[in-house]
Every structure is written in C-alpha cells, then in structure tokens.
Amino acid sequence: MKKSNIVYGLLAVALASCGGTAGGEEPYDDDTLFDGTEYYEKVETRAAFDKDYEGNINEHLEGGHLNDAYWNTLEGTWQNDNPSKLHAGMNNRNLFYVHDGNDTYLGFRGRGLYCQDGDLEKMDNGQVKPEGAGIITKEKLIPGRYEIEMAALPRYGGISACWTYLCETGNELTDQNEIDIEIGGHTDGQTFKYFWATSWTTHDNKQTVDQDVSELLYLNDGQFHKYTFDWYTDYLDTNNGRVDWFIDGVLVASVRGSLVTTKEMPLWIGLWFPAWTNNAVFDTDFMLMKSFEFTAFDESQFYEESRANAGYTQTTPSQANIGSIEYSEVKSINKIANGGFDTWSEVPLLSGNHYGWQIREGANKGAVATANVDGSQMLSLTASAEGRAFTFQTLEEFYEGFNYDYSFDAKLADGNSTGKMEVHYLNRLGMDVSSPTVVEIDSTSMKTYSGTLESPEKCVNVEVRFYGGTGTTYVDNVEVTFTGITY
C-alpha cells in the first residue's frame, strides 16, 4: 500500500539549490556517525522489512551467473559532452564472470587512457575513449535496504557506483530521482579517502555528502566491502524522507527531508568514466561485485509509482555474451602501464606521456628512446654529456600500508654503463615522505630484478623511475602488482 506523496514547498527547493539543507536539518546525526554498527543492526526499529515482497533481490551469482529474473545488462553513454574527455560509456564486452574457486564475482572491466586494445573507440586525434560496464534491475524498486558487496575500481578516473535513478519528465531540471553510492569522484589527490553519498529529486534539489572515510578504510584497498543505503520516505513517523549510507555496517553519511525522493526507481550498478572526475591514467583494471541484496520496507514507507522506463540498450544476462576470467588474472593485474614499452608515442592530449611513462621537462638532460634490442622492443636510456637519462611512471593513490611485488628485466650495454630503478614514495604535493627504494642494475646480460615494496606513512603516490647514469641501460617487462594492505 502506498500513502499519498508529500508536496514539497518552493522554500525547500530554494534552500537546497543554494547548497543548504531543506528545513535547516543537519545532514547526519552526530551521535551515530562512525559509531559502530548498532544503528545499522537495529534498522527494523525504524522500519520493518517486508520479507515477502515479490520484488526483493538476493543476488549471489549462484551457479556462476547473474539471475535473469533480476537483471538486464546495460549499454549506453551519458554526460559525454566534454570534447577533451569523451568516454564510451558502458559496454557488455566489459562484463566478465570472475571465477575464484567455488565463488563467482561479476567483473566490470575499466579500460583507461593507456589501454591499447584494438576494439576501443577513439577520438579524431587517436585518443581512446575510456569505457566500463553496467547492469540494471528489470523492475523498479521501492524504499528499503540496498546492499552491495564490491571491490571498487582501484584506479583514477573511473566511478564505481550503485544507484537508483529515474527521470519521469525527460528533463532533469524538473525531475531527477536518484540515490547514489559513488567511489572515485574526488579530485584533490585523495580520491579514495572520500565516499560520495548523493540524494536528488531534481537537478538542483540535491545534496552530496563528501565524506572522509579513511579512518575506516581506503576505498581502493582491493578488498570486498559491504556498501549499504537505507531509503526511508517516512522516517520514524515524521513524514520526512531520509537516506542513511553505511560501509561495513558503520553509518558514514545521511541526508534528510525534501532532498529524498518518493518515486520507485530501477537500481543501476556499474563503472563509467565521466568528464567531471580525474583522467583515467591507467591501462585496464576491474570493479568487482560479489553480491547484491534488496529488501523492501513494509507499507509504513510510502512511494509513488512511476510511468517512465529506463532507456539505453538492455539485454538479458544469459543473452549478453558475458565473458569469463579467473580471479588470479584480475588480482594480479600489472599496475604499470606499457611495462613492455611496446610503444613510445605520446598519448593524445597528454603531452610527454608515453602511455604511462613520462619525462619531467627540464630535469632530464639525457636522451630517452625505445629501440629494438636483440629483437625485442624495450626502453633504451642513453646518457648524454649534459647528464643522465631517466623516465618515470606515477601510480596514483597507493596509500600507507599498500604492499606490492615488483619485477623488471634490465641490462647494461657494457661495463662502463650504469643504471638503476628508484621507487619514490610521495605525498600529494609530490614531496618524498621517506627514503626511496633503490635497485642498482649490475649486469651486462639481461637479468630479472624483483622484490617487494610497502608504502610508508603519509604516502599518497608511488613514482617508479628508471635512470641511465652513464652509457646505455636497457629495461623491459616492468611489473608492479598489488598484493594487499596492512591496516
């Protein structure tokens, strides 16, 4: 049963559009934010579940696949009007069943600016358009508890998201019903310390809580976490809406009042590359979904039925040709782009960036080029009379406690040549926060160098550098793989 809708006043809309919260209410309750899991666990003291509701969802990829009764895959592109940062939206070719022993996850592949796959769309200048993947519920959902277990895309430029959305009028200025979980949108060099929680009713009547959650986790830690939002339309008999967001059962954000929609909406899950976030400065990586559950609240929470249906191309999962991949391949992705130095051309619109490898202007007085050496494409670092040669690649937002394995192949051209790898641990201002890790290249025959790394306290970015001090140094097959985090 649905109660009648609240009619929102013009004053509430005006307050929200000016950045305030309707009715002067605070965005969350100070006594429950980050205060354990008791509030999460006592949800049914606020609204009982309707466990018999036919629209409830319990998706754990039983049998190794999505349930056709719940989902469609989604192909489409939106918010794609920035000529310098075009993207290719969501595409079924980036959906994968990821097999991990007896478990199966849904993988959403993200392909960034450094990806050189031949099937990617490109801009007129040759720059690839980053692309991801998505799914959508077949049915519109209502107030209740929404929970996704996922490991967010751990790289810059992509948005890992789980959201409800419906635009009934076709014009978001008058009708944009949305509740968002978004990871990856912060742009100040600390993207994965911040969780975005957003509630909309129109394009201007909205609130985004940009919450620092680093005391709980880093959102790109590679682990599965449970992200939850509870959507109420009549919170504790106040006739006011409220949305609470949780990470692993801890309340991290809340929005109340006229900023909360009352309309039923489909649920979308996916990975995409909007122009308003960072450049997608990586090759290929994954967002993973382990499970999704929706449990409706009972009739105490009213809602409006909606006439509109979601657009874009939708396909039943069993007919979508979803790929298959082993979790070991996803887990061990090389975080270094172009580690084999297969190309040294510049990425269009990213001057001086050779698909990940860069030369700092004014600091490098040597010659840097690739050469076909012993029949293989590799990096050639040849020092000049003016100084040494070097190139580097930055791995964004590899925080304190992040652990990696590294390896690379290298050799010196002769006994008079010198070369080395240095790994620098930087804060967000680009300053070293500890002594670098240094590996001297000491062989005139190709040799594999390997070891482990751990980001120190205050680290935000890791910079991998290769130097040719004198003579010529050759480098190939550079790999840095994330192995876990020490909290």
pLDDT at site 16 = 29
pLDDT at site 153 = 98
pLDDT at site 126 = 93
Kindly state the tokens that stand for 391: 């190139």
What pTM, to 2 d.p., does this model score?
A: 0.92
pLDDT at site 23 = 34
How do the pLDDT tens digits run along the chain, 487 residues long?
333 332 222 222 222 222 333 333 444 455 778 999 999 999 999 999 999 999 999 999 999 999 999 999 999 999 998 998 999 999 999 999 999 999 999 999 999 999 999 999 999 999 999 999 999 999 999 999 999 999 999 999 999 999 998 878 777 777 778 899 999 988 777 899 999 998 878 777 778 889 999 999 999 999 999 999 999 999 999 999 999 999 999 999 999 998 899 999 999 999 999 999 999 999 999 999 999 999 999 999 999 998 888 889 999 999 999 999 999 999 999 999 999 998 888 899 888 899 999 987 666 667 666 766 666 789 999 988 778 888 999 999 999 999 999 999 999 999 999 999 999 999 989 999 999 999 999 999 999 999 999 999 999 999 999 999 999 999 999 999 999 999 8
Count, residues in the chain? 487
Query: Chain-centre distance of CA 166, in angstroms?
Result: 23
Q: Among candidates 292, 310, 314, which has minimal Cα distance to 144?
A: 292
User: Please, are residues 90 and 131 in contact by the beta-carbon 8 Å criterion?
Assistant: yes
Gyration radius (Cα) of the chain, Å: 25
Instruction: Give the number of other CB atoms < 10 A from CB of residue 423.
Output: 20
pLDDT at site 29 = 56
Cβ-proximal residues to 233 (8 Å cutoff; 6+ apart), any chain: 6, 143, 241, 260, 262, 301, 302, 303
Q: State the amino acid at position 246 in one-letter form.
A: F
Q: Among candidates 150, 169, 167, 168, which has minimal Cα distance to 159?
A: 150
pLDDT at site 70 = 98
Nearest-angstrom CA–CA distance, 255 and 211: 12
pLDDT at site 169 = 78
